[in-house]
Amino acid sequence: MSLVELIARADARGLAASGLACLDRCVPLLDGDDEALRPLWALLADDADDACGAAGRDWAEGLAQVRDKLAGPDAGGEDEAVVLARRMLEAAPAACTGPALRTWADACSVASLRIHRLLDPAGDAAREADVPRDGGTEGLPPLVAAELRRQTGVLELLADRGVAGLRPALEVSTEGRRVLRAVVSRRARGRA
């Protein structure tokens, strides 16, 4: 199944995990530490019946705390990759159900792929083009292709294993965050 199809079929937990995983991989752009989103991941794992905590209240509170922790300066002087990462965080719905959650997960997918395209050192002249999400990785720069595989992998883990897929989904996201942190670090050294 394509990434677009997986998002269309995902349940609330899958959508929340998908959006959260995209944001988690981009935390290095927000100067966040590796544990910044851990409370939200824990909410998805703790309550087997309700994907986001007691009636979503826990999710809304956790989200507010994460936003405070990752609050940065005014986005006026930031580059496009940082602005896209901030928008992912700002757009996260307070209610962890319904159409807003699907819209957020889909927007996070697009934004994360765009970020990876902007940061890919092997990127081509088509940096402005959207990454196709309904096919394979052929012809994509390495960083972008890996992000597409990670997004698909997270959704497949949740679809196949339910709540038991969260730990391996978090591992996939952690690996991607390490890769992006290295890219961001190299990029900062190159600008210095």
User: Which region, left, alpha or beta, applies to residue 11 given φ > 0 means left and ψ of -120 to 50 means alpha?
Assistant: beta
The answer to whether residue 55 scores a pLDDT higher than 60 is no
pLDDT recorded at residue 109: 96
Q: Specify the pLDDT at position 49.
A: 57
Per-residue model confidence (pLDDT) at position 47: 53
More confident call, 47 vs 90: 90
What does each C-alpha distance from 3 to 30, 66, 106, 140 come to in angstroms? 25, 27, 9, 15
pLDDT tens digits for 74-88? 555 578 999 999 999
Over residues 111-137, the pLDDT tens digits come to 999 999 999 887 654 555 677 788 778
Instruction: Please answer whether residues 141 and 124 qualify as being in contact, where contact means their C-beta atoms are separated by less than 8 angstroms.
Output: yes
